[in-house]
């Protein structure tokens, strides 16, 4: 009997270990299946109208563009519309881009009596005027709606005293808002195929519209894209052939940028050399 005692103890230990591990396994499994207690959400929420997808600036709202969403009542921005007011938003025009799931606000819409399209985006005291541009004039396609641009024009002027034609380039419009960009088909000749031409619509005052019309018909104009951080005005005298050739001159007479270009002829009389300016 003593010979089998170690085996009996080993078997008893194995049974105890198996029983203990089974009990522990069943307990852990039952604990994992216990659902955590759900905390009751007491936050007051309101159904408001939000964008169902990205809505571009200038779009006329339809029911398909809107959907209701629950937002916390104390976090609602001013001017938000409740879900039951979505039908009243149909026909309103967005004056800014509205992102998907963004709340529709009164400040993002044109006035109730505003017309549709670009006309709804124009300031009541200003006008919308379109000009045809190419990649060079339109800053190689980098100009987008809501950008601000400066307009430079190059025109030829006649000097009555010398009866000569001179050119000048001048900044004529500054900090001008780009309302829209589109394309139209233009036929250059009778048998030519119509080609797409880019059209940029700018927001200008009546006086600025006159300058823009003159620049488009009587001279060559260029658009310069402004940084959104640029606020100061640029007052310039304009660039002429004289100021262009006098840039970055060397010597005593050319130390100051923008000085006049001095031209002369050397006159040699024997050993005497003099410079005669003209």
Structure confidence by residue, pLDDT tens digits, 217-274: 877 788 888 888 888 878 888 888 888 888 777 655 444 444 455 556 666 666 676 7
The residue among 172, 182, 169, 176 whose CA lies nearest residue 133 is 182
According to the model, what pLDDT value does residue 185 have? 46
According to the model, what pLDDT value does residue 162 have? 59
- Name, in order, each residue with C-beta under 8 angstroms of 133's C-beta and a sequence gap of 6 or more: 198, 199, 200, 223
According to the model, what pLDDT value does residue 257 have? 47
Would you say residue 196 has pLDDT above 60?
A: no
The residue among 275, 151, 139, 156 whose CA lies nearest residue 208 is 151
- Name, in order, each residue with C-beta under 8 angstroms of 15's C-beta and a sequence gap of 6 or more: none
State percent of the chain over pLDDT 70.
Answer: 72
- Distance in angstroms (rounded) separating the CA atoms of residues 66 and 144: 26
* Mean pLDDT for the chain overall: 77
According to the model, what pLDDT value does residue 266 have? 64
Average pLDDT over residues 26-42: 69
Would you say residue 83 has pLDDT above 80?
A: yes
According to the model, what pLDDT value does residue 66 have? 92
- Name, in order, each residue with C-beta under 8 angstroms of 193's C-beta and a sequence gap of 6 or more: 187
The residue among 73, 28, 24, 23 whose CA lies nearest residue 48 is 73
According to the model, what pLDDT value does residue 186 have? 47
Domains belonging to the chain, first-starting first, are: 45-120 (3.90.1210.10), 122-241 (no CATH)
List the single range of 3-17, 101-115, 186-200 with lowest mean pLDDT.
186-200
Would you say residue 211 has pLDDT above 80?
A: yes
Average pLDDT over residues 75-97: 87
According to the model, what pLDDT value does residue 68 have? 92
Token pair belonging to 150: 């400066």
Q: How far apart, in Å, are the Cα atoms of 216 and each of 153, 174, 179? A: 9, 16, 18
Question: Which residue spans within 29-135 are E strands per DSSP?
Answer: 45-51, 66-72, 127-133
- Distance in angstroms (rounded) separating the CA atoms of residues 162 and 144: 44
Dihedral sign for Cα 240, 220, 142, 103, please: positive
- Distance in angstroms (rounded) separating the CA atoms of residues 153 and 214: 9
Residue bearing the bigger pLDDT, 110 or 139: 110
According to the model, what pLDDT value does residue 275 have? 67
């Amino acid at each position: 009997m003593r010979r089998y005692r170690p085996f009996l103890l080993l078997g008893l230990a194995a049974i105890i270990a198996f029983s203990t591990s089974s009990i522990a396994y069943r307990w852990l499994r039952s604990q994992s299946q216990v659902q955590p207690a759900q905390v009751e959400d007491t936050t007051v929420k309101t159904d408001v109208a939000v964008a169902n997808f990205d809505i571009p600036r200038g779009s006329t709202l339809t029911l398909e563009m809107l959907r209701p969403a629950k937002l916390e009542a104390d976090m609602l921005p001013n001017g938000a519309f409740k879900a039951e007011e979505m039908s009243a938003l149909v026909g309103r025009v967005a004056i800014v881009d509205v992102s998907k799931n963004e709340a529709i606000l009164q400040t993002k819409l044109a006035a109730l009596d505003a017309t549709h399209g670009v006309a709804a985006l124009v300031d009541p005291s200003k006008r919308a005027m379109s000009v045809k541009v190419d990649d060079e004039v339109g800053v190689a396609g980098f100009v987008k709606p809501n950008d601000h641009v400066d307009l430079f024009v190059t025109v030829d002027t006649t000097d009555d005293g010398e009866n000569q034609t001179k050119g000048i380039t001048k900044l004529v419009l500054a900090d001008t808002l780009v309302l829209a960009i589109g394309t139209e088909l233009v036929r250059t000749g009778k048998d030519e195929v119509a080609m797409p031409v880019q059209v940029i619509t700018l927001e200008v005052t009546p006086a600025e519209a006159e300058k823009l019309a003159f620049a488009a018909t009587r001279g060559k104009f260029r658009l310069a894209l402004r940084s959104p951080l640029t606020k100061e005005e640029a007052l310039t005298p304009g660039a002429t052939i004289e100021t262009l050739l006098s840039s970055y001159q060397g010597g005593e007479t050319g130390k100051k940028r923008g000085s006049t270009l001095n031209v002369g002829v050397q006159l040699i009389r024997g050993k005497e050399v003099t410079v005669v300016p003209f």
